[in-house]
Amino acid sequence: AAPLVHANESQPSPADKRRRYEQDDDSKSDQDVVVDDNNEDGAANVNGDAAASSASPKENGESKRIGKSSPTSGAAKSNTPTSGSASTAAAAAAAAASLSSPGPGPSSQSAAILSSTAGVAKSSNSGSKNPIDLSPGFASPAAAAAAAAALGIPNPYNRPPLPVPFDTAAMMRSHLAGKPAYSFLIGESGTMQPVPFPADALTGPGVPRHARQMCTLNHGEVVCAVTISNPCRQVYTGGKGCVKVWDISSSSSSSSSGGGGGGSQANKATLVHSLDCLQRDHYIRSVRLLHDGRTLIVGGEASTLCIWDLASPTPRLKAELASSAPACYALAVSPDGKLCFSCCSDGNIAVWDLQSQSLVRQFQGHTDGASCVDITPDGSRLWTGGLDNTVRCWDLRESRQLLQHDFSSQVFSLGYCPTGDWLAVGMESSSVEVLHVNKPEKYQLHLHDSCVLSLKFAACGKWFVSTGKDSLLNAWRTPYGASIFQSKESSSVLSCDISADDRYIVTGSGDKKATLYEVMY
């Protein structure tokens, strides 16, 4: 394959760096779209019927040990002698049942940071960093395609349009020998072994069967950021210099009453507001609602964050926070709504006091752009991923780095499980890794065919979704990654969110639209 960045090319700006990974191949077409639509007859449900198989859905490839190291595995580093090894995930699928309970409330964590605002660290990394090439660089796995053809089964990496939804559960139940595995357990020694899924991997309360496309939100620009309000009445889509606010209450109410299919008149979203943010020709990278739904924070390819007051009948720009970094790639908000964390293109994590609208601290450690962020439910720890091939954990009570995981691939997305100590990480190399923060093993998942651009856990913690440049939306079982359902859109899927009640998914894509899905149980 041709190199991603030629030696004679000029250094791109932070805005260009990430954009190049998200551009689509010219070969994509609308005819490639396969959506897991509603199937009430149960004959082709993407989650399958567990009772139809006497064996557990363990057909995750051949159950033989693979004596090779993980392509993206790396040793974890600890900044404290008591934190132990942190290159992690569960040693067995049964560990999913033992999820830790939330810790103390978040108020003390925010207070600890706000009480020490003196001497805010100045950034030592000004301006843009090394080029971050976001162009396509990973072809479909030839070996998997050849194996699928030899066995007479569909190629899971490059499927043609199907007359019925793609049934990943049926493929897992297949007893054909030699089918490529996609979920691996990586032990402390670095060996990989296909995961035997438990019998209830695709069943039980809180585990969806599939997702039904409800409606399309035609933003008009590439949608790099999305979020859903709580309760699920509005969707916010971020494109170039503008956040659009959509009323989806008619869609959600019609779906809950059982009316309308994916293309019905009832399932439509109404554009209610357009909020001009940043600069007109700069993409918005992250939109975050405070938990009361009255404030929206917007960050992107500019040195300012915008804070919008949504409480009034017409949203108004409340404040702009000036940063020394050229761009913001991701945002997180503390559970108490007092702090905002901004992942900056210079590698720093800026900590903002939302009440005083001031910068109170910067976490320094990433040597290239900080690309993604999530916070633990108790507000005590912050997890960040970077284009420097690392994931880092920060103690918000003591304002210091606790742990560091090293990989051989840039980190584009991550999410912390709301109900336990699992961390899912989306890689530029196309894999998803699921780490347990206290154990020396992890899971590595391979159903994406290119960079994993966004990732989000359901509030129940039993499943999560990832999206990628391969136009796929994948839903996975926590933590071992059994494939619950999969949908293919017509372009790169750059962003995603799940509603607080786990009933809806929204995605933002490179074909200038967002898509709203209903999660079917």
- Mean pLDDT lowest for which of 127-131, 248-252, 411-415, 507-511? 127-131
pLDDT level of residue 250 (50, 70, 90 thresholds):
confident
Of 48 and 287, the structure prediction assigns the larger pLDDT to 287
Q: What φ, ψ does residue 253 adopt, rounded to 5°?
A: -70, -40
Q: What integer pLDDT is reported at residue 21 of this predicted model?
A: 63
Q: What integer pLDDT is reported at residue 87 of this predicted model?
A: 37
Q: What integer pLDDT is reported at residue 100 of this predicted model?
A: 37
pLDDT level of residue 312 (50, 70, 90 thresholds):
confident
Q: What integer pLDDT is reported at residue 420 of this predicted model?
A: 85
In 14-40, which positions are buried (b, 16+ CB within 10 angstroms) versus exposed (e)?
bbbbbbbbbebeeebeeebebbbbbbe
Q: What integer pLDDT is reported at residue 4 of this predicted model?
A: 33
For residue range 89-120, list pLDDT tens digits in order.
Answer: 333 333 333 333 334 444 555 665 555 443 34
Of 37 and 188, the structure prediction assigns the larger pLDDT to 188
Judged against a pLDDT cut of 90, whether residue 452 lies above it is answered with yes
Rg (CA), the chain: 22
**In whole numbers, what is the pLDDT of the chain averaged over residues?**
76
Q: What integer pLDDT is reported at residue 114 of this predicted model?
A: 55
Whole-number percent of the chain with pLDDT over 70:
63
Q: What integer pLDDT is reported at residue 443 of this predicted model?
A: 98
For residue range 120-131, list pLDDT tens digits in order.
Answer: 433 334 343 333
**Boundaries of every domain in the chain:** 208-251+268-520
Of 420 and 310, the structure prediction assigns the larger pLDDT to 310
Q: What integer pLDDT is reported at residue 20 of this predicted model?
A: 61
pLDDT level of residue 19 (50, 70, 90 thresholds):
low
Q: What separation in angstroms does the CA of 408 have from each of 277, 382, 386?
A: 35, 22, 12
Judged against a pLDDT cut of 70, whether residue 211 lies above it is answered with yes
Q: Any residues with CB less than 8 A from the CB of 288 and at least 6 apart, and which? A: 227, 296, 297, 331, 332, 333, 340
Structure tokens given for 45: 């449900």
Judged against a pLDDT cut of 70, whether residue 10 lies above it is answered with no
Q: What integer pLDDT is reported at residue 280 of this predicted model?
A: 85
- Name residue 275's amino acid: L
pLDDT level of residue 138 (50, 70, 90 thresholds):
very low
Q: What integer pLDDT is reported at residue 161 of this predicted model?
A: 38
Q: What integer pLDDT is reported at residue 140 of this predicted model?
A: 37
For residue range 475-507, list pLDDT tens digits in order.
Answer: 999 999 999 999 999 999 999 999 999 999 999
Q: What φ, ψ does residue 173 adopt, rounded to 5°?
A: -80, -10
Q: What integer pLDDT is reported at residue 418 of this predicted model?
A: 96
Q: What integer pLDDT is reported at residue 279 of this predicted model?
A: 82
- Name residue 340's amino acid: C
Q: What integer pLDDT is reported at residue 96 of this predicted model?
A: 37
Q: Are 368 and 350 in contact (CB under 8 A)?
A: no
For residue range 329-358, list pLDDT tens digits in order.
Answer: 999 999 999 999 999 999 999 999 999 999
CATH architecture of 208-251+268-520: 7 Propeller (2.130)
pLDDT level of residue 266 (50, 70, 90 thresholds):
low
Cα–Cα nearest to 271, from 308, 223, 234, 318: 234
pLDDT level of residue 440 (50, 70, 90 thresholds):
confident
